[in-house]
């Protein structure tokens, strides 16, 4: 959910002169795992080049240097003995006193966390610091904290706190990491360079999804150009009196309604409230299944059908509308009901959801007995995963359907962990058939699952170990983004808009670059993993 703090009066940031190829940030790519500073504060030292120290060259107590798992740096890594108190101690130099980033590179191929205490010169700076599962012993990741170093020589010790010992430890990097790209701003700048608010496309859910991600980036950066762009797009469709030229005869057409709520929140202009109420009021007459689930569209070809996609198209809008316009009593209950009804039909054994369900059993794709579509298409499941987390963020703790939604999400998280590709960290287009040669890992759904698991673990909806699953997904998605020769970002392997079909249909879908489904999901994921989303 977007932060409800009004930001229209924030001071303007610097003027933009086009897309930035590289933006410096003082965080690792895995910022989602950053640890709060716990050491005694000192004057911050000027940034210096990072210096690496190999674990195999440090002092090792109750551990051994090993080389049996690929991907390490230097000549090996330290394999901790599985006892409390096993540790590795580094001797490091600092040109001056001050707070300094300490980055530990590790691998943990078990499913059990292997926490460690970190001390600097005998003072504990992190207690029980989590080193969660990395999936495999070759799934190297990093953990960063900030601590005060003294000028000259320092000792940094990482000590296991449980009988499981520590993770495999590869190295310690001292100092600010090398500059990395702020992919949210780079991607937003690139998209704004490619399209104006007029040429980006019509009123649609893919554009609405992308612009919602742009808004999250605006909330962090406070760059007025980002919000102005969104407003210019919406103003193409909403006149001065709040009349919006849309019929809202499908759930897809409602998703961009989130932008109406955002703009009312940011500007206070009544016309956006009027336009948003048009979407809300359409739900009063919108067709439903016998249990009250919204049809995917008010057309004969979608009659009586629930598509997993649909829950994201309307329910995040609903709860945000309810909060902004004091209609939460209806909106929260309706959104929770929709997710519960959809989940009760679409979720099957193992936790994953089928793409769609037909109450009438007349659609060509529906099973005559169950009414279900034949496959677990990844983006349909991704839509549902994001929607259920967003709605849980919004509804009251004592909401009647909250336990049911938590059960659905926890089963889904288990299914996501099981079907994550161990080689890439991403998820397959047809989720449970990753062993087929024509199947492929898809970027938009991988972003969606990464977001949902990270947010779910952060909020306590799912077990904390899913943070590590999300981190593997994050690294997998980042492998699909790059900078072109023109300095603009490119995000690859995004499936284009997709209907319900069979395996061959999904596998043959076009694998696009910079499709808005992927750009929007990426921005939502990236802002969550950067730590910008607040509880």
The H-or-E segment that residue 307 falls in is: strand 305-307
State residue 239 phi and psi, 5-degree precision.
-85, 180
Do residues 277 and 325 lie in contact, with contact meaning Cβ atoms separated by under 8 Å?
yes
Do residues 147 and 99 lie in contact, with contact meaning Cβ atoms separated by under 8 Å?
yes
* The pair of three-digit structure tokens given for residue 180, joined into one six-digit string: 């990395």
Is 309 a catalytic site residue? yes
State residue 424 phi and psi, 5-degree precision.
-115, -20
* CA distance linking residue 504 with residue 333, whole number of Å: 38
State residue 180 phi and psi, 5-degree precision.
-125, 165
* CA distance linking residue 315 with residue 338, whole number of Å: 8
Which residue out of 113, 170, 182, 309 is catalytically annotated? 309
* CA distance linking residue 258 with residue 270, whole number of Å: 15
Q: Which residues pair with 171 in a beta bridge?
A: 54, 105
* CA distance linking residue 283 with residue 441, whole number of Å: 36
- Residue 41's Cβ-side half-sphere holds a number of Cα atoms within 13 Å equal to 1
DSSP type of residue 384: H
Three-state SS at 442: strand
- Residue 154's Cβ-side half-sphere holds a number of Cα atoms within 13 Å equal to 26
In the block, residue with structure tokens 């989130």: 258
DSSP secondary structure letters along 258-283: HHHHHHHHHH--HHHHHHHHHHHHHT
- Listed in order, strand segments (DSSP E) in 50-179 are 51-54, 59-61, 63-66, 77-80, 87-94, 98-107, 116-120, 123-129, 141-149, 152-160, 168-174
DSSP type of residue 351: S
Handedness of CA 511, 516, 517, 520 (dihedral sign): positive
Catalytic residues: 309
């Amino acid at each position: 959910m977007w932060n409800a703090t009004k930001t229209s009066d924030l001071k303007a940031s610097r003027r933009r002169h086009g897309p930035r190829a590289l933006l410096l940030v003082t965080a690792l790519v895995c910022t989602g795992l950053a640890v709060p500073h716990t050491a005694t504060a000192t004057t911050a030292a000027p940034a210096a080049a990072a210096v690496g120290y190999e674990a195999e060259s440090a002092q090792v107590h109750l551990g051994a240097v090993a080389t049996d798992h690929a991907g390490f740096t230097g000549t090996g890594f330290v394999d901790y003995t599985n006892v409390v108190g096993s540790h590795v101690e580094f001797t490091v130099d600092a040109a001056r006193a001050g707070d300094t980033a300490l980055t530990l590179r590790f691998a943990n191929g078990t499913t059990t966390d292997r926490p460690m205490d970190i001390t600097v010169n005998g003072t504990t700076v992190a207690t029980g610091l989590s080193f969660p599962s990395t999936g495999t012993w070759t799934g190297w990741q990093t953990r960063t904290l900030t601590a005060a170093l003294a000028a000259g020589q320092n000792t940094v010790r990482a000590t296991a706190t449980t009988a499981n010992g520590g993770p495999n430890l590869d190295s310690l990097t001292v100092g600010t990491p090398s500059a990395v790209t702020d992919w949210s701003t780079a991607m937003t700048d690139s998209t704004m360079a490619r399209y104006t608010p007029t040429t980006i496309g019509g009123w649609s859910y893919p554009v609405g999804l992308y612009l919602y991600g742009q808004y999250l980036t605006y909330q962090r950066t406070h760059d007025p150009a980002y919000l102005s762009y969104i407003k210019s797009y919406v103003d193409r469709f909403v006149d001065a009196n709040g009349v919006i030229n849309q019929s809202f005869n499908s759930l897809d057409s409602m998703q961009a309604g989130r932008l109406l709520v955002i703009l009312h929140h940011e500007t206070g202009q009544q016309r956006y409230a009027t336009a948003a109420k048009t979407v809300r009021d359409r739900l009063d007459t919108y067709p439903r299944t016998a249990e009250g689930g919204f049809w995917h569209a008010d057309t004969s070809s979608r009659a009586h059908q629930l598509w997993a996609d649909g829950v994201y198209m309307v329910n995040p809008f609903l709860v945000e509308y309810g909060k902004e316009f004091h209609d939460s009593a209806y909106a929260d209950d309706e959104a929770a009901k929709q997710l519960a009804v959809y989940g009760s039909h679409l979720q099957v054994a193992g936790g994953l959801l089928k793409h769609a369900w037909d109450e009438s059993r007349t659609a060509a794709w529906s099973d005559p007995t169950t009414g279900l579509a034949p496959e677990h298409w990844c983006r349909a499941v991704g839509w549902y995963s994001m929607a259920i987390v967003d709605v849980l963020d919004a509804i009251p703790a004592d909401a009647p359907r909250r336990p049911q939604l938590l059960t659905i999400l926890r089963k889904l998280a288990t299914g996501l962990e099981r079907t994550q590709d161990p080689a890439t960290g991403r998820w397959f287009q047809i989720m449970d058939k990753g062993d087929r040669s024509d199947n492929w890992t898809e970027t938009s759904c991988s972003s969606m699952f990464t977001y949902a698991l990270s947010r779910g673990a952060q909020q306590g909806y799912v077990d904390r170990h899913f943070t590590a699953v999300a981190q593997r997904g994050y690294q997998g998605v980042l492998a699909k983004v790059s900078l072109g020769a023109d300095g603009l970002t490119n995000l690859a392997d995004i499936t284009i808009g997709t209907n319900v079909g069979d395996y061959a249909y999904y596998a043959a879908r076009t694998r696009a670059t910079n499709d808005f489904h992927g750009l929007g999901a990426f921005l939502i994921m990236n802002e969550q993993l950067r730590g910008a989303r607040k509880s």
